[in-house]
Structure 1
Amino acid sequence: MSTGKGLRRALIALGVLVGAWLVVPTLVVIPISFSGQDTFAFPPSSWSLRHYVSFFTEPSWLTSLLVSLQLALIVTAIATVLGTMAAFALARTRFPGKGAIDGLFLAPLIVPGIVVAVAMYAAFLGWGLIGTPTGFIIAHTVLALPFVTVNVTAALTGFDGTLEKASASLGATPWTTFRSVTFPLIRPGIMAGALFAFVTSFDEVVVSLFIQSPNLQTLPVRMFTSVTNEVDPTIAAASSVVLVVSTSLLGLAGLTRRKRGHG
């Protein structure tokens, strides 16, 4: 018994060390973002909010942040609706080639991001969508759709179909059954998929680099440009904002999925 407890503690300690090794380098940007210096220095010799003031007041940074937020909200809405519909079709129907269709929905998660970016650039160049809001929405929706489909499909897999039959037997219409019975039970899966879709769009940089234009840049693209073309500690403040938003939403998605599991 004591040997088992010792092994468990050793595994927990190893897990904590691996987690710290992965997370700590990322967290370094947070104290740097509060530095009062004009260069990257860790640990900072002075403290200031100047980089955050610059991030939220400089037009180029503020515009890119607003573009990313607006784009992520639109993509989340579209991907959630389309992904939920696709999940119902894949989970509740049987047809020839269903396995291949399932693979196509997961392709954006499997294919390397640079390959997806080059393919989209080639297609969008012919369609005249490079540097347009429509192009960004389509590209990010393609990337976010699998997260919604996977989460909603998982929710439907554990769904008790007899509840819908009972609702129908009592005279409820299909829409009433979905709104009053099905949706409340699979809502945690839909919410988790929507949160993952938002984070996917908000953090996307590889595809966005290929389809950007000088007049339309997302926040990750603006950050990449700042790193490659200049030494501006404002990027540390931008990185901290992205880190906090992404971590908060992913944590919320994790809690939502746990709630679904308990349900």
Structure 2
Amino acid sequence: MALPAHTSPLERAWRIAYLVTCTAIFVFLVAPIIVIIPLSFNATPYFTFTEAMLTLDPAGWSLRWYRDLLTSREWLRSIENSFFIATVSAAIATTLGTLAALGLSRREMPARAAITAFLISPMIVPLIITAAALFSFYARANLSQTYFSIIMSHVVLGAPFVVITVTAALSGFDNQLVRASQSLGANLFTTFFRVILPLLAPGIVAGALFAFITSLDEVVVALFLAGPRQQPMTVQMFGSLREEISPTILALATILVILSILLLTFMEAMRRRTERNRTGT
């Protein structure tokens, strides 16, 4: 971004230092993630850059680990479990989180601050404590090592993101639109689906994506509650790292990184679209 012509040398120096610092922090955080992408195409079963890879020799590059990933029954089953659990848990968390945010947005709601703090507490409490508590609860109910226990546990972890994003969307919501809809004869059902829901859609979609990613990336709760049949890919990756270090893990990690980038790009496009709609540009 160009600086105004009247900017002083000190302000220019501060601007340059700020950009350099932000760039350095970004590289420091992203570099360990990006480096796994070329390693996933390594022709050798090692987590290192070989001489053939560094010299761009075609013999040093291979799709071997992607073929292993797509032909392994264990890996495919774990991926299927992960996406099934993430999709169902995100749907439930989005529904419950949206309803909770709508209720908390009402001024007549008693103890709003306390209820909000309780709903977002899974984001604050250490995950190992939450996992141990959930395991104790479901074990006593004879529901551990079931899809139900893992899905509902991931709902607990994902719902706070939905509450936060929908609450943020409600902060700019005009309640006069609801009164106008009701004055024109629309009932509560029609008002919700024709007025409220379309305006809150960006916040709801963002919350749903956060809940989906949280479930897809979660490993601690899954280690406590997942059985052999419910094992998600995060647990499969964790076990593979302990038993055998195979670049197949890097292939799956690369796919997950690309998926995360696509989801974040979609969320940013939704945010910009919402801003344009609000400003009328």
Does the TM-score normalized on the shorter chain lie above 0.5? Answer: yes
Larger Cα Rg: Structure 1 or Structure 2? 2
Q: Which protein is richer in helix relative to its size?
A: 1
1:233 aligns with 2:240: no
Other-structure match for 1:62: 76
Aligned-partner Cα distance in 1 for 2:223–2:41? 28
Query: C-alpha displacement at 1:115, in angstroms?
Result: 1.0
Secondary structure of 1:37's match? coil
Aligned-partner Cα distance in 2 for 1:246–1:44? 30
Moved more, 140-149 or 179-188: 179-188
Instruction: List per-residue Cα deviations over 1:11-56 (Å, max 9, x = no partner).
Output: 0111011100110011111111101112222257310001001111
Contact 1:32 1:44 (C-alpha < 8 Å) held by counterparts: no
Other-structure match for 2:11: 4
Other-structure match for 2:55: none
Residues 43 and 194 of structure 1: CA distance in aligned 2, closer, same or farther (over 3 Å): farther
1:140 aligns with 2:154: yes
What is the RMSD computed on CA atoms of the aligned residues?
1.4
What is the percent sequence identity of the aligned residues? 41
Match of 1:202 among 207, 216, 235: 216
Map 1:13-162; keep pairs closer than 5 Å: 13-43=20-50, 45=52, 46-162=60-176
Moved more, 54-63 or 246-255: 246-255
5+ residue gaps, structure 1, are none
Match of 2:269 among 234, 250, 255: 255
1:242 aligns with 2:256: yes
Query: C-alpha displacement at 1:131, in angstroms?
Result: 1.2
Instruction: List per-residue Cα deviations over 1:225-257 (Å, max 9, x = no partner).
Output: 010111211111011112111232133223323
Aligned-partner Cα distance in 2 for 1:253–1:131? 33
Aligned-partner Cα distance in 2 for 1:217–1:96? 41
Other-structure match for 2:193: 179
Secondary structure of 2:120's match? helix
Secondary structure of 1:19's match? helix
Aligned-partner Cα distance in 2 for 1:52–1:82? 37
Aligned-partner Cα distance in 1 for 2:257–2:51? 20
Instruction: List per-residue Cα deviations over 1:70-110 (Å, max 9, x = no partner).
Output: 11111111111111101101111434332211111111110
Contact 2:170 2:200 (C-alpha < 8 Å) held by counterparts: yes
Instruction: List per-residue Cα deviations over 1:149-198 (Å, max 9, x = no partner).
Output: 11111111110000111111111111111122111111111111111111
Residues 174 and 20 of structure 1: CA distance in aligned 2, closer, same or farther (over 3 Å): same
Moved more, 64-73 or 207-216: 207-216
Aligned-partner Cα distance in 2 for 1:259–1:119? 41
Aligned-partner Cα distance in 1 for 2:41–2:273? 36
Residues 177 and 128 of structure 1: CA distance in aligned 2, closer, same or farther (over 3 Å): same
Contact 1:35 1:44 (C-alpha < 8 Å) held by counterparts: no
Contact 1:36 1:44 (C-alpha < 8 Å) held by counterparts: no
Contact 2:103 2:109 (C-alpha < 8 Å) held by counterparts: no
TM-score when normalising by structure 2: 0.90
Query: C-alpha displacement at 1:141, in angstroms?
Result: 0.6
- Letter in structure 2 aligned against 1:37: T
Secondary structure of 1:111's match? coil
Instruction: List per-residue Cα deviations over 1:90-149 (Å, max 9, x = no partner).
Output: 111434332211111111110111111111111111112221010111011110000111
Contact 1:80 1:194 (C-alpha < 8 Å) held by counterparts: yes
TM-score when normalising by structure 1: 0.95
Aligned-partner Cα distance in 2 for 1:258–1:100? 32
5+ residue gaps, structure 2, are 1-6, 53-59
